[in-house]
Homo-oligomer: A and B are copies of this chain.
Amino acid sequence: MNEFMRAAIEEAEQGIAQGHGGPFGAVVVKDGKIIGRGHNRVVANNDPTCHGEISAIRDACSKLNSFDLSGADIYTTGEPCPMCLGAILWANVNKIYFGCTIAENDMIGFRDDVFYKQLSISTEKMKDRIVQIDHNECLALFKKYAAIKNKTMY
């Protein structure tokens, strides 16, 4: 499998092992190197904006001392929600590689699909920048999360 998606999954695994939030990890990659990483910490931080992609973008920007990630790509275990799509655009991240789909977020109890409909979002005009990879490995991660009992949902 893709080495960067493997790193994104490892991030997500760390997050769910510690009860930080959903099974969402992300890494930002530039010139073949990981320059930022993060996982969902909504529950741990009581911060609804602390998604994996947002965390990875903030980490990369902090390391580069720049709000501009032009030339970088992002690898994320789940297809980005509207908030994270917006953050990716503002940060000038180029390509988005994701594992599980918005429909699979719904399957494990998240509302991304509802928000896509509320905002009538279509990624058709961005389709050259959004690529699904390593679906099986990410789906295994999502199923592992779904099996955890008594977790805090958001």
Those of A100-118 within 8 Å (CB) of chain B: 111, 115, 117-118
Contact of A120 with B125 at beta-carbon distance under 8 Å, contacts A47-B61, A81-B86 already known: yes
> Can you name 5 A-B residue pairings with CB atoms under 8 Å?
A46-B61, A83-B83, A83-B90, A120-B124, A120-B125
Q: Are A154 and B42 in contact (CB under 8 A)?
A: no
Residue among A62, A68, A91, A118 with the highest chain B CB neighbour number at 10 A: A118
Task: Please name all residues of chain B whose beta carbon is closer than 8 Å to the beta carbon of A54 when the two chains form the complex.
Answer: 49
Cα distance A62–B44 in the bound complex, in angstroms:
11
Q: Size of chain A's interface in residues, with CB distance under 8 A?
A: 40
Q: Are B42 and A48 in contact (CB under 8 A)?
A: no
Q: Is the CB of A48 within 8 A of B91?
A: yes
Tell me, rounded to whole Å, the shortest Cβ–Cβ distance linking A127 to chain B. Answer: 11
Max count, chain B CB within 10 A of own CB: residue among A43, A49, A62, A68:
A49
Residue A126 CB within 8 A of the other chain: yes
Interface status of A87 (Cβ within 8 A of chain B): yes
A residues adjacent to B (C-beta < 8 A):
42-43, 46-49, 54, 57-58, 61-62, 64-69, 81-87, 89-91, 111, 115, 117-126, 154
Contact of A68 among B111, B122, B154 (CB under 8 A): B154
5 nearest A-B pairs in the assembled complex, by CB-CB distance: A83-B86, A82-B86, A120-B122, A48-B90, A48-B91
